[in-house]
Amino acid sequence: MRYRVLGKTGLRVSVLGFGASSLGGVFRDIDQDAAIRAVHVSLEKGINFIDVSPFYGLTKAETVLGKALRGIKRDSYILATKLGRYGSNLSDFDFSAARAARSMDESLARIGVEYVDLIQAHDIEFGDVSQVVNETMPAMRKLVAVGKARFAGVTALPLKCLARTAQQSAADTILSYCHYELNDTALLGVLPGLADHGIGIISASPLGMGLLSVRGAPAWHPAPDIVKQACAKAAAHCAARGASIEKLAVQFSVAEERIATTLVGSASPTNMERNIQWIDEPLDRALLAEVLDILRPVHDVTWPSGRSENN
């Protein structure tokens, strides 16, 4: 396993991180014992960064993660969770200082730890960005001051909103998803400005939430049909070559050295072991060029998320 420094935090994080949304049964029903083993396998194989949220499985992911981490030395892993998003409706977002304080205590209790290394405002594009800058971030800094967290960051899909808010709020980190993968590398466009502020970069969903897989995008996926079709064509091309588009996607995403860690999530210990093995294997550059050519017509095509003014 390789490690990189997460911006000005100084934290050395594994280039592959464990995205614990899978523990909440977000993508499929899970076997809890297998999910716990997936966490253990990940830690044993060198992953040291775990990201979760109360939103994932409506607190289930944090609860299952807490069971998985029971008895494991707290200084052996770097833990991130979130606050501000508690459901799928607009009414389920609350970025107030009072809710931030309660949310932190609730998460610590569910996971069974005394502190997290990183607390993040979750999907800020669904809220009032000025509130995130002027109320939520100061509230998270208070959590840092009292020892409940070590650093504070923000997460979102729309990149301009994410980068601008991170800089205005002096965030320590950003978490971006679906913007550094085979079909979308738009994250690269905001990296220089973030680097100027020492902001650490976390990227998630190297498979594009299922776009870059043999199984294909789930029915709920918000990507335009042209993106789904192009990704399906790329997956079929890899399969015809006797290769795995999932492997290519993970290898491609992890190779960008300016991204400290890339989150992959699975409640299957076998899948996590496979993901970890892939990043130590050589990248098939000829296949990569062919796949990028197939995806070129939809490169950086994304979808709206959150309030219209934040897109």
Mean pLDDT of the chain, nearest integer: 97
Per-residue pLDDT reduced to its tens digit, 53-106 = 999 999 999 999 999 999 999 999 999 999 999 999 999 999 999 999 999 999
Of the candidates 56, 86, 177, 180, the residue annotated as catalytic is 56
Residue 36, domain member (yes or no): yes
Residue 181, domain member (yes or no): yes
* 259-275 mean pLDDT: 96
For the chain, give the DSSP string: --EEE-GGG--EEESEEEEGGGGGTSSS---HHHHHHHHHHHHHTT--EEE--TTTTTTHHHHHHHHHHTTS-GGGSEEEEEESB-SSSGGGB---HHHHHHHHHHHHHHHT-S-EEEEEE--GGGS-HHHIIIIIHHHHHHHHHTTSEEEEEEEESSHHHHHHHHHHTT-SEEEEESSSBTTB-GGGGGHHHHHHTT-EEEEE-TTTTTTSSSS---TT--S-HHHHHHHHHHHHHHHHTT--HHHHHHHHHHT-TTS-EEEE--S-HHHHHHHHHHTTSPP-HHHHHHHHHHHGGGTT-----S-GGG-
- Residues near 223 by Cβ (< 8 Å), separated by ≥ 6? 208, 211, 217, 231, 301, 302, 303
CATH number reported for the structural domain that contains residue 279 in this entry: 3.20.20.100
Q: In this predicted structure, what is the pLDDT of residue 27?
A: 72
Percent of the chain topping pLDDT 70: 100
Residue 235, domain member (yes or no): no
Q: In this predicted structure, what is the pLDDT of residue 136?
A: 98
| Distance in angstroms (rounded) separating the CA atoms of residues 202 and 13 | 10
Residue 296, domain member (yes or no): no
Task: Confirm whether pTM is higher than 0.85.
Answer: yes
The pLDDT of residue 28 is above 90? no
Residue 301, domain member (yes or no): no
Q: In this predicted structure, what is the pLDDT of residue 7?
A: 98
Residue 299, domain member (yes or no): no
* 277-298 mean pLDDT: 98
- Split at pLDDT 50, 70, 90, the class of 43 is very high
Residue 227, domain member (yes or no): no
| 56 annotated active-site | yes
Residue 215, domain member (yes or no): no
Give me the number of domains the chain comprises.
1
Q: Structural domain of residue 43, as residue ranges?
A: 3-210+247-283
